[in-house]
Structure 1
Amino acid sequence: MDLLQLKYFQAVAKIEHMTKAAQILQIAQPALSATIARLEADVGVPLFNRAGRNIVLNEYGKVLLMRATRALNELEAARQEIGDLSGSKFGYVSFASTAMNKHFCDLLASFAQLHPKVNFQLTQTTDENAKLSLLENGEVDFIFVIKKIKRSDVVCIPLVEKDVFLAVPAAHRLANRHTVSLQELAGESFITLKADHSIQEFCYSMCLKRGIVPKVICKSDSAQGLVNLVAAGFGVAFFPAPRKYVPNLPFVLIKIEDFDYNNFLYLAWKEKRYFSKAALQFREYIIQNGPDTLN
């Protein structure tokens, strides 16, 4: 068993698809299959259940994935710590976030300009539980979340307070309104995010309380997909945005009269783990500049 086998196994285990994993790893699929076969021969048991072209991680594979992820994360932490001790000017920061809008990207770009040799690993997902799993497994340094994580081993710092607005296309019948009531939205075609999302759940429950069942015509995999669909006139959507909002979206945001809701964008990290100098600089920069830039 060697590190390359473990890295390849980790990639296949996450995707559960040999060809797609080979594409991500940029190696030939037969070579990847042979590497996994050697690993299985080494541990003495199959790590995946196979049915034709489909592969699913089995109970043995789940045990190895947990241990392998922990070991690979420790080795990466060691590499970063040695780099810090040796005075290396290069750094590495990894994080997961839902938002990748212009304000967020501008914040990252401004940090990168100050630290041009820092490398980033960005994971974009709307699934809050997936972000927490990445943090727990040590796969990312930080996560940006919209719901406070109440755990003793996780630090969660509020950055920006947000409200929920109604997003409508520029040519929509309500586009010239400053406020709208939920009753006026009966019959509207809604676009939502496919992943479980606390904001979407709240909006849906508020509609039900007023006797309205939102007509969902499309569930998007990504926030950007939702933005594009609303902008194209496909439907309307409940959309979180900072209270000090600077219009820079391809649709109109309208305040919802019936909503008594606000939430924060939080920056979270595991309390007991090694952070590279680059990660510490990134964290300090986000805390100091995030509230102003993201508003």
Structure 2
Amino acid sequence: MDLLQLRYFQAVARYEHISRAAEELHVAQPSLSRTIARLEAELGTPLFDRQGRRIRLNQYGVVFLHHVDRALSELDDARRVLSDARDTAFGRVSVASETLLTITHLLGSFRAAYPRADVRLFQSNAEEMDRQLRAREVDFCVASQPLTGTNLEMIELAREEVLLAVPRGHWLDGQESVTIREIATEPFVTTRIGQWQRTLLDRLFASEGLTPMISCEGDEPGASQDMISAGLGIGLIPAISRQAGTDSQVPVAWVHLNAPDCHRVLTLVWSRDTYLSDAAVKFREFTTSRPFMTHRLPDKRRGRGRQP
């Protein structure tokens, strides 16, 4: 067997779906199927249970995957160790975040403190973060919702209130607070399923036995305030946005949402088994040794800014 077979098996085992694995690996489905068949022939046992077009990892496949994951992780770490030892640079640190504006200031400060560090940034949802950590594509994730991967370490960076943003002149403009039931028929601007804003919105409404009415959904949370200001709906925005003034100065009004657990928790997440370069170690120390940029709601109920 060779490394290509093992990486192909790892992808198929993760998805339990040939076509999805083939899409990720950028190979033809028949070629991928033949590779898996050859691997099973070499091992002398099937690794998947097949029922028509469906496949499921069987008990032998589960055992084999455990060892394959460990072996490939060790090889990936060895490659990075050699790269760091060979290069004269400080090393690379790769970070994934659900919204880029959340960590722009942090990364800028880190680059200023460690100019020789090679910093790579990715925008990913929670599902993609889990995959990137498993595949060793990133060193850290700055997540706004729990990640489900195994062997993960995490440190809470910040906890902040999430506010309701409404267009100026809206009937809620100037109100102190509002309940979920009072806004049950209001159209919402939010992100797609999988992003933390949508997860929080669905959870808050579900706690009241309700379903939110979505007027607009997208992939970039930073655009939400523009759409809210334009009158396309109301939306959940973290409190930090009121203080993060930008050139656009998007005008919205802010209202407390009278609902339990209406907050965002930012965590730094990494895999405990992954090799970290000098740059990655310094990034973790830098991030966890200083207050993360958060802002509590001041007395004044309105503000300007863009959502991170």
TM-score normalised over the length of structure 1 = 0.70
Tell me the equivalent position of 1:10: 10
Query: Are 1:173 and 2:170 matched, yes or no?
Result: yes
SS in 2 for 1:265: strand
SS at match of 1:78: helix
Is the alpha carbon distance of 1:57 and 1:16 closer, same or farther for their aligned partners in structure 2, counting shifts above 3 Å? Answer: same
More off after superposition, 27-36 vs 248-257: 248-257
1:200–1:267 CA distance, 2 compared to 1 (3 A): same
Match of 1:264 in 2: 265
Question: CA separation in 2, counterparts of 1:228 and 1:12?
Answer: 40
1:291 equivalent in alignment to 2:288: no
Aligned twin of 2:305: none
What is the aligned partner in structure 2 of residue 141 from structure 1?
139
Q: Tell me, what secondary structure is at the counterpart of 1:8?
A: helix
Q: In the aligned structure 1, how far is the partner of 2:4 from the partner of 2:206?
A: 48
Q: Secondary structure at the match of 1:291?
A: coil
Would you say the 8 A contact 1:192–1:238 is kept in 2? no
**8 Å contact kept, 2:185–2:213:** no
Structure 1's 227 and 185: CA in aligned 2 closer, same or farther, altered over 3 A? Answer: same
Number of residue pairs aligned between Structure 1 and Structure 2: 284
Distance apart, 1:235 and its partner CA: 4.6
| 1:115-151 deviations in Å (ceiling 9; x for gaps) | 6773747472235xx85787689775323234689xx
**1:120-199 matches, cutoff 5 A:** 120=120, 122=122, 124-126=124-126, 140-146=138-144, 156-168=154-166, 170=167, 173-174=170-171, 176-177=173-174, 179-182=176-179, 184-190=182-188, 194-195=193-194, 199=200
SS of the residue corresponding to residue 279 of structure 1 reads helix
Deviation of the 1:5 alpha carbon: 0.9
1:221 deviates by 8.8
* Corresponding residue for residue 240 of structure 1: 238
1:78 Cα deviation from its structure 2 partner: 1.8
Is contact 1:49-1:55 (8 Å) kept?
yes
Query: Following the alignment from structure 2 to structure 1, what is the Cα–Cα distance between the partners of residues 132 and 274?
Result: 14
- Alignment root-mean-square deviation, CA: 4.4
Shift of residue 73, structure 1, vs aligned partner: 0.9
1:230–1:251 CA contact under 8 A, matched in 2: no
For the 8 Å contact 1:193–1:226, the answer to whether it is kept is: no
Which residue identity does 1:2 align to in structure 2? D
3-state SS, counterpart of residue 173 of structure 1: coil
SS in 1 for 2:126: coil
Aligned identity (percent) is 34
User: Where does structure 1 lack aligned partners over 5 or more consecutive residues?
Assistant: none
The aligned residue for residue 21 of structure 2 is 21
Q: What letter matches 1:280 in structure 2?
A: V
Q: Which secondary structure does the structure 2 equivalent of 1:30 belong to?
A: helix
Which aligned pairs between 1:23-42 and structure 2 lie closer than 5 A?
A: 23-42=23-42
Q: How does the TM-score come out when normalised to structure 2?
A: 0.67
Residues 1:266 and 1:76: Cα distance change in structure 2 (over 3 Å): same
Runs of at least 5 residues in structure 2 that lack an aligned partner in the other structure: 296-307
1:101 alignment counterpart: 100
User: Is contact 2:153–2:269 with CA below 8 Å preserved after alignment?
Assistant: yes
Query: Structure 1 residues 293, 171: closer, same or farther in 2, change over 3 A?
Result: closer
Matching of residue 78 in structure 1 with residue 83 in structure 2: no
- Give the direction of change, closer, same or farther, for the CA distance of 1:189–1:75 in structure 2 (3 Å limit): same
